[in-house]
Amino acid sequence: MSAPAPATATADGLQAGRRIEEVLDRLAATGDRQTHEAAEELVRVLMEFYGAGLARIVERLTALAPGADPLAALLEDELTTSLLTLHDLHPEDVHTRIARALESLPEAELAGYDEDDGTLRLRTAPDTGCGCGSTAEDTLRRIEDVVAAFAPEVTSVELAPAAPAPPLLQITTRPPAPARVP
Protein backbone atom coordinates (compact mmCIF):
# COMPACT_ATOMS: atom_id res chain seq x y z
CA MET A 1 0.00 0.00 0.00
CA SER A 2 2.83 2.39 -0.78
CA ALA A 3 2.06 5.65 -2.54
CA PRO A 4 3.18 6.02 -6.14
CA ALA A 5 6.17 8.19 -6.89
CA PRO A 6 5.17 11.87 -7.28
CA ALA A 7 6.09 11.96 -11.00
CA THR A 8 3.91 8.91 -11.66
CA ALA A 9 1.02 10.37 -9.67
CA THR A 10 1.31 13.65 -11.61
CA ALA A 11 1.40 11.82 -14.94
CA ASP A 12 -1.59 9.69 -13.93
CA GLY A 13 -3.48 12.80 -12.84
CA LEU A 14 -2.76 14.60 -16.10
CA GLN A 15 -3.74 11.53 -18.10
CA ALA A 16 -7.02 11.21 -16.19
CA GLY A 17 -7.78 14.89 -16.78
CA ARG A 18 -7.14 14.49 -20.53
CA ARG A 19 -9.37 11.40 -20.66
CA ILE A 20 -12.21 13.29 -18.96
CA GLU A 21 -11.90 16.09 -21.51
CA GLU A 22 -11.87 13.58 -24.37
CA VAL A 23 -14.99 11.83 -23.13
CA LEU A 24 -16.83 15.13 -22.65
CA ASP A 25 -15.74 16.24 -26.14
CA ARG A 26 -17.03 12.96 -27.65
CA LEU A 27 -20.35 13.42 -25.90
CA ALA A 28 -20.60 17.01 -27.13
CA ALA A 29 -19.88 15.81 -30.68
CA THR A 30 -22.86 13.44 -30.60
CA GLY A 31 -25.22 16.40 -30.50
CA ASP A 32 -27.12 14.91 -27.55
CA ARG A 33 -27.21 18.03 -25.38
CA GLN A 34 -28.92 16.36 -22.40
CA THR A 35 -26.35 13.57 -22.20
CA HIS A 36 -23.48 16.03 -22.49
CA GLU A 37 -24.94 18.26 -19.76
CA ALA A 38 -25.53 15.25 -17.51
CA ALA A 39 -21.93 14.12 -18.00
CA GLU A 40 -20.61 17.60 -17.19
CA GLU A 41 -22.77 17.69 -14.06
CA LEU A 42 -21.49 14.26 -13.05
CA VAL A 43 -17.92 15.51 -13.37
CA ARG A 44 -18.78 18.60 -11.26
CA VAL A 45 -20.44 16.47 -8.55
CA LEU A 46 -17.49 14.07 -8.46
CA MET A 47 -15.12 17.04 -8.18
CA GLU A 48 -17.17 18.34 -5.23
CA PHE A 49 -17.12 14.88 -3.62
CA TYR A 50 -13.37 14.49 -3.94
CA GLY A 51 -12.81 18.12 -2.94
CA ALA A 52 -14.81 17.54 0.24
CA GLY A 53 -12.80 14.38 0.90
CA LEU A 54 -9.48 16.12 0.42
CA ALA A 55 -10.60 19.02 2.63
CA ARG A 56 -11.60 16.56 5.34
CA ILE A 57 -8.25 14.78 5.10
CA VAL A 58 -6.37 18.06 5.43
CA GLU A 59 -8.63 19.12 8.32
CA ARG A 60 -8.13 15.85 10.21
CA LEU A 61 -4.37 15.75 9.63
CA THR A 62 -3.76 19.36 10.63
CA ALA A 63 -5.79 18.87 13.84
CA LEU A 64 -3.64 15.92 14.97
CA ALA A 65 -2.10 16.03 18.39
CA PRO A 66 1.67 15.41 18.44
CA GLY A 67 2.38 11.69 18.23
CA ALA A 68 -1.17 10.82 17.12
CA ASP A 69 -1.64 8.20 14.41
CA PRO A 70 -2.64 10.00 11.19
CA LEU A 71 -4.21 6.90 9.66
CA ALA A 72 -6.37 6.34 12.76
CA ALA A 73 -7.60 9.93 12.48
CA LEU A 74 -8.70 9.29 8.90
CA LEU A 75 -10.35 5.96 9.73
CA GLU A 76 -12.57 7.64 12.32
CA ASP A 77 -14.24 9.72 9.60
CA GLU A 78 -16.99 8.31 7.36
CA LEU A 79 -16.04 10.36 4.29
CA THR A 80 -12.33 9.56 4.37
CA THR A 81 -13.10 5.93 5.18
CA SER A 82 -15.42 5.70 2.19
CA LEU A 83 -12.79 7.21 -0.12
CA LEU A 84 -10.10 4.83 1.11
CA THR A 85 -12.46 1.88 0.68
CA LEU A 86 -13.64 3.03 -2.73
CA HIS A 87 -10.06 2.98 -3.98
CA ASP A 88 -9.10 -0.25 -2.19
CA LEU A 89 -6.70 1.62 0.10
CA HIS A 90 -8.42 0.88 3.40
CA PRO A 91 -6.13 -1.12 5.70
CA GLU A 92 -8.96 -2.90 7.57
CA ASP A 93 -10.86 -5.95 6.33
CA VAL A 94 -14.60 -5.84 5.69
CA HIS A 95 -15.52 -7.44 9.04
CA THR A 96 -13.55 -4.81 10.97
CA ARG A 97 -15.14 -2.01 8.94
CA ILE A 98 -18.64 -3.43 9.53
CA ALA A 99 -17.91 -3.54 13.26
CA ARG A 100 -16.69 0.06 13.10
CA ALA A 101 -19.91 1.12 11.34
CA LEU A 102 -22.05 -0.70 13.90
CA GLU A 103 -20.32 1.19 16.73
CA SER A 104 -22.20 4.28 15.57
CA LEU A 105 -25.49 2.37 15.26
CA PRO A 106 -26.70 1.46 18.76
CA GLU A 107 -30.04 0.36 17.32
CA ALA A 108 -28.46 -2.50 15.36
CA GLU A 109 -26.60 -5.66 16.34
CA LEU A 110 -24.72 -7.95 13.96
CA ALA A 111 -26.51 -11.21 13.19
CA GLY A 112 -24.23 -12.22 10.30
CA TYR A 113 -22.54 -11.22 7.06
CA ASP A 114 -22.54 -13.33 3.90
CA GLU A 115 -19.42 -12.44 1.91
CA ASP A 116 -20.66 -14.39 -1.13
CA ASP A 117 -23.73 -12.22 -1.77
CA GLY A 118 -22.85 -9.15 0.34
CA THR A 119 -25.87 -9.45 2.64
CA LEU A 120 -25.51 -7.99 6.12
CA ARG A 121 -28.02 -9.35 8.64
CA LEU A 122 -28.74 -7.24 11.69
CA ARG A 123 -31.05 -7.44 14.68
CA THR A 124 -32.65 -4.21 15.74
CA ALA A 125 -32.94 -3.11 19.32
CA PRO A 126 -36.29 -3.73 20.99
CA ASP A 127 -38.77 -0.89 20.57
CA THR A 128 -38.38 1.49 23.44
CA GLY A 129 -41.49 3.48 22.68
CA CYS A 130 -39.47 6.67 22.46
CA GLY A 131 -42.22 8.41 20.49
CA CYS A 132 -39.68 9.86 18.05
CA GLY A 133 -41.77 8.90 15.03
CA SER A 134 -39.03 7.06 13.16
CA THR A 135 -40.14 4.09 11.11
CA ALA A 136 -38.45 0.82 10.30
CA GLU A 137 -37.81 2.24 6.82
CA ASP A 138 -36.07 5.31 8.32
CA THR A 139 -33.94 3.06 10.51
CA LEU A 140 -33.02 0.82 7.56
CA ARG A 141 -32.08 3.82 5.38
CA ARG A 142 -29.89 5.29 8.15
CA ILE A 143 -28.17 1.93 8.70
CA GLU A 144 -27.60 1.45 4.95
CA ASP A 145 -26.05 4.92 4.67
CA VAL A 146 -23.63 4.36 7.54
CA VAL A 147 -22.68 0.85 6.44
CA ALA A 148 -22.17 2.00 2.83
CA ALA A 149 -19.60 4.55 3.99
CA PHE A 150 -17.59 1.95 5.88
CA ALA A 151 -18.18 -1.22 3.85
CA PRO A 152 -19.40 -0.79 0.27
CA GLU A 153 -19.01 -4.56 -0.16
CA VAL A 154 -22.32 -4.82 1.70
CA THR A 155 -24.91 -4.92 -1.08
CA SER A 156 -28.01 -5.36 1.08
CA VAL A 157 -29.03 -5.04 4.70
CA GLU A 158 -31.66 -7.27 6.25
CA LEU A 159 -33.18 -6.28 9.59
CA ALA A 160 -34.71 -8.78 11.96
CA PRO A 161 -36.49 -7.48 15.02
CA ALA A 162 -34.85 -8.20 18.34
CA ALA A 163 -36.45 -10.77 20.56
CA PRO A 164 -39.22 -9.17 22.59
CA ALA A 165 -38.28 -8.13 26.08
CA PRO A 166 -39.61 -10.47 28.78
CA PRO A 167 -42.79 -9.26 30.45
CA LEU A 168 -42.31 -7.07 33.48
CA LEU A 169 -42.89 -8.96 36.70
CA GLN A 170 -44.65 -6.84 39.31
CA ILE A 171 -43.41 -7.42 42.84
CA THR A 172 -45.25 -5.80 45.70
CA THR A 173 -44.27 -5.42 49.33
CA ARG A 174 -47.52 -6.59 50.90
CA PRO A 175 -49.80 -9.54 50.27
CA PRO A 176 -53.03 -8.93 48.45
CA ALA A 177 -55.98 -7.91 50.63
CA PRO A 178 -58.34 -10.78 51.52
CA ALA A 179 -61.56 -10.92 49.58
CA ARG A 180 -64.52 -9.45 51.48
CA VAL A 181 -67.51 -11.65 52.00
CA PRO A 182 -70.83 -9.74 52.16
**Helix residue spans in 30-179 (DSSP H):** 33-62, 70-75, 78-86, 94-103, 136-150
pLDDT at res. 182: 67
Do the strands 108-114 and 156-161 form a parallel or antiparallel pair, or are they unpaired?
unpaired
pLDDT at res. 6: 52
Q: Which of 87, 66, 62, 84 is nearest to 75 (CA)?
A: 84
**pTM, to two decimals:** 0.63
One pLDDT digit (tens) per residue for the chain, 182 residues: 445 445 566 668 889 889 999 999 999 999 899 999 999 999 999 999 999 999 999 999 999 999 999 999 998 888 898 899 888 899 999 999 999 889 888 888 899 999 999 999 998 866 555 555 567 788 889 999 989 888 889 999 998 876 676 777 777 777 667 777 76
Cα–Cα distance for residue pair 15/2, rounded to 1 Å: 21
Q: What is the DSSP letter of 156?
A: E
- Count of CB atoms within 10 A of residue 96's CB? 14
pLDDT at res. 1: 46
pLDDT at res. 9: 61
Q: What is the DSSP letter of 76?
A: T
Q: Which of 117, 121, 112 is nearest to 143 (CA)?
A: 121
Contact 106, 112 (CB under 8 A): no
Cα–Cα distance for residue pair 33/29, rounded to 1 Å: 9
pLDDT at res. 126: 61
Contact 36, 27 (CB under 8 A): yes
- What is the sign, positive or negative, of the torsion defined by CA atoms of 30, 36, 38, 44? positive
